[in-house]
Amino acid sequence: MNGVKSLLIIISGPAGAGKSYCASKLAEIYGIPHYSIGQLFRKIAMERNLTIEELSKIAEKDPSIDGELDRRTMELAKKGGCIIEGRLVLFFSRSYPNKLSFYLNAPFEERIKRIASREGISLNEAEKRTKMRELSEKIRYKSLYNIDIDDLSVYDFVINTAKWNKEEIILLLKQIIDLYLKLRC
């Protein structure tokens, strides 16, 4: 698929929605790079010996943390031919002409189960951390950029990942991407 080398695929959504899994599988299928802004945030937290939630709280008062993530996001998006997974990627790549955006979500309870399982923590701890993180992000993105992350109208596709299993979600995303490539590239 030659057109995929110029396509920017954006996968966004809240924690536990399946973004990382889908992005990595699609990157394998299409042979293109996958970049995770969330992984970059986790790396910064680890480097500072902080939890994600602690770094989120610090970022509410220190815009340089988000500034660095945003700068890197824009650099990656300009290149195209990749999959970028992150909450604000679409907002920083609006000028990129050839993009396809997905917002993956699942009911809060399902996401909490996934997070608890993935991180080896209790459901109560996963719920507490997730609520804190999501509130922090909502506050930061609104105050820094005037972005309402609850406005999903900016995405090409919004998909509930609790409706199908992982393989079916990948198949659905692949069919959408393939159709886009066939009709547009």
pLDDT in tens, 70-106: 888 888 888 889 999 988 888 878 778 889 999 999 9
Give the separation between CA 164 and CA 168, rounded to whole angstroms. Answer: 6
User: Which structural domains are found in the chain, ordered by start?
Assistant: 3-184 (3.40.50.300)
Band (pLDDT 50/70/90 cuts) for residue 63 is confident
Per-residue pLDDT tens for 117-176? 999 999 999 999 999 989 988 988 898 889 998 999 999 999 999 999 999 999 999 999
* CB contact at 8 A, 6 and 174: no
Mention every residue, 6+ apart, whose C-beta is less than 8 A from residue 31: 4
Nearest CA-CA partner of 154 in 76, 107, 91: 91
E strand spans, the chain = 8-12, 34-36, 82-85, 99-105, 157-160
Q: Given this model, what pLDDT does residue 111 score?
A: 97
Nearest CA-CA partner of 2 in 25, 31, 26: 31
